[in-house]
């Protein structure tokens, strides 16, 4: 059996899948909460940006107005910049760029742009532990917003397991997340369960610890 690595399941994704995923999440409490945080800042990084639908929505709401606006998106899927040009049209070149590749690799190389906020919606459940991405991100930005899917807020146990569909199924309770964040030197600003249909998600805001 060939060993699979993180991200393998997403490497052949295309614009249609990203379109479908955005349609399923647009207008949800989680998406609106992430957008509200992003609209407050000038310099933004998005991990798992797909074809740029979140950026397109930000621009629609006026985010790109102003000379200080800057956006850097990361997507591990296939040809995200090409797909984003179809979603964003002429707006693609207005505020930033979308890069193909793993944010964690780029962060390890220290090649992440200076920014005020990093957002990652539906990403950390594809890691073995929810903290891996924010720990890497807080080296470059003071504040991180996460939308965590597949969460179980009623359990006091955290388990991560590789699933046949190719991602980790993350279970993390709110009490345990608070304990782990503090132990790792992160300040937990907000941690709130939200529903999308019958799916439970967790909205998390983290900052660098003092």
Between 3.90.600.10, 3.90.420.10, 3.40.50.150, 2.170.120.12, what CATH number should domain 8-208 receive? 3.40.50.150
pLDDT of 11 over the 90 cut: no
pTM for the full model?
A: 0.88
List pLDDT tens digits, range 95-141.
Answer: 778 988 889 999 999 999 989 999 999 888 777 788 999 999 999 99
**Which residues contact residue 130 at a Cβ distance below 8 angstroms, ignoring those fewer than 6 apart?**
124, 146, 148, 158, 170, 172, 177, 180
Q: How far apart are CA 45 and CA 59, in angstroms?
A: 14
Q: How far apart are CA 161 and CA 164, in angstroms?
A: 10
């Amino acid at each position: 059996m060939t060993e699979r690595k993180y991200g393998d399941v997403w490497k052949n994704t295309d614009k249609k899948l990203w379109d479908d995923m955005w349609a399923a999440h647009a207008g949800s409490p989680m998406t609106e909460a992430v957008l509200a945080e992003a609209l407050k800042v000038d310099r933004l990084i998005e991990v798992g940006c797909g074809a740029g639908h979140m950026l397109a929505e930000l621009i629609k709401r006026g985010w790109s107005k102003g000379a200080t606006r800057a956006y850097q998106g990361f997507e591990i899927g296939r040809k995200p910049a090409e797909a984003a040009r179809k979603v964003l049209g002429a707006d693609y070149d207005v505020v930033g760029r979308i890069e193909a590749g793993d944010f964690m690799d780029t962060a390890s190389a220290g090649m992440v742009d200076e920014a005020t906020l990093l957002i990652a919606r539906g990403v950390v459940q594809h890691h073995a532990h929810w903290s891996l991405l924010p720990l890497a991100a807080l080296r470059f930005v003071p504040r991180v917003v996460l939308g965590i899917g597949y969460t179980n807020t009623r359990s006091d146990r955290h388990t991560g397991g590789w699933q046949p569909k190719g991602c980790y199924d993350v279970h993390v309770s709110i009490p345990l997340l608070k304990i782990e964040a503090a132990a790792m030197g992160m300040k937990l600003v907000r941690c709130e369960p939200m529903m999308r249909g019958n799916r439970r998600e967790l909205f998390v805001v983290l900052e660098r610890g003092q």
